[in-house]
Amino acid sequence: MSRKLPPLNALRAFEAAARCCSFKLAAEELNVSQSAISHQVKHLEDYLQTTLFHRRTRAVELTPAGQKFFPFLQEAFDHMAEGTRLLARLDRDDVLTIQTYSTFAVRWLMLRLAKFEEKHADITVRLTTSQWNVDFSEQDTDVAIMIGEPQDGKINFDYLFSPRMFPVCSPALLEQAGGLGSPADLANRTILQVYPSEDDWKNWLAATGTEGIDPNSGTSFDSYDHALKMAVRGLGVALAMQPYVGEDLSAGLLVSAFPELEVPAPGKWYLVYPESRGRIRKIRQFREWLLGEIRDDPDLAPLIETTPARLNA
């Protein structure tokens, strides 16, 4: 069935003017004259046989008809813009943009990416870090590596491993007078917090049945990397999980304060990407490589569940 639509230039002029609440600002955005915007809007009003704007001396205001029409048009232009961005990303099969947490990037992924780039020399990797979940509809990101649980929507969640949390500190702090004989002794030590994961200490204390410790006390940092570095310097006790702390434990810079009290962390690690893009070569190749690296990591392989809660939402 054919679509009967007004001229595209007139629709663009109206959408910009309605969004900006100004013919002048719309003209600047579209790089045309203000009179051109006015002409195109009048052309659209004639086509629709209805008035879309009240013209004031120094401003314009949508009429009731314009208010009804504008949301439909704005959504249509938003969809077209997203489709254009998606097509641009699809055309760049030689660039892979990955988002993950800064600590995971610094302490695990960046140490191994050279192997992926060597194996796939035709793909350029762009790595971005964020403590917040990716929004594929707004960001030019191909894949994300994140902790969480599958959510609703057309997003694919490939299970990686299930982390466990445990307190760590420097050997010197552990040997100080009083030591850390039990979790109750944390009351006498500084707790190092990671505020984007503010519930971690509360969850660990609850899971181990530890009472009398304020989970919100201590010093807060914006990443695990910072908290663990402060723990290495003997400035407090941090919560850790693999793969963040493997090298520090191996080097003896940190020790597990209570080796018998590891608890499951909330959420699991996933490789996340739009379901519609799962067959794209660069994503398939990165997925295969990442799963292999995790299986080969002696710290992470034991954390892979054979039947994880899964997968596509």
User: How far is residue 142's CA from residue 277's CA, in Å, rounded to a whole number?
Assistant: 8
Q: What sign results for the dihedral spanned by CA atoms 77, 82, 83, 84? A: positive
Does 85 have pLDDT greater than 80?
A: no
Identical fold for domains 92-162+267-312 and 164-264, yes or no, is yes
* 83 vs 168, residue with greater confidence: 168
Average pLDDT over residues 235-247: 93
Q: What is the pLDDT of residues 16-66, one digit of tens each?
A: 999 999 999 999 999 999 999 999 999 999 999 999 999 887 788 999 999
Q: What is the pTM of this model?
A: 0.68
The answer to whether residues 232 and 173 touch, using CB atoms and an 8 Å cutoff, is no
In DSSP terms, 193 is beta-bridged to 220
Report domain extents, the chain.
8-82, 92-162+267-312, 164-264
% pLDDT > 70, the chain: 93
| Beta carbons of 105 and 129 less than 8 angstroms apart | yes
pLDDT of residue 89: 56
- pLDDT value of position 3: 72
Third-level CATH fold of 8-82? Arc Repressor Mutant, subunit A (1.10.10)
Query: Which string of DSSP letters, residue by residue, matches 199-227?
Result: THHHHHHHHTT--S--TT-SEEESSHHHH
Dist. CA 50–CA 53, nearest whole Å: 9
Of residues 4 and 281, more confidently modeled: 281
Reply yes or no on domain 164-264 having CATH 3.40.50.970: no
Position 71 pLDDT exceeds 50 = yes
The reported pLDDT for the residue numbered 79 is 81
| Pairing mode of beta strands 95-100, 53-55 | unpaired
Residue 310 pLDDT: 47
SS3 for 135-170, per residue?
Answer: CCCCCCCCEEEEEECCCCCCEEEEEEECCEEEEEEC
CATH number belonging to domain 92-162+267-312: 3.40.190.10
Q: pLDDT at position 136, please?
A: 82
Structural contact between residues 171 and 237, judged by C-beta atoms closer than 8 angstroms: no
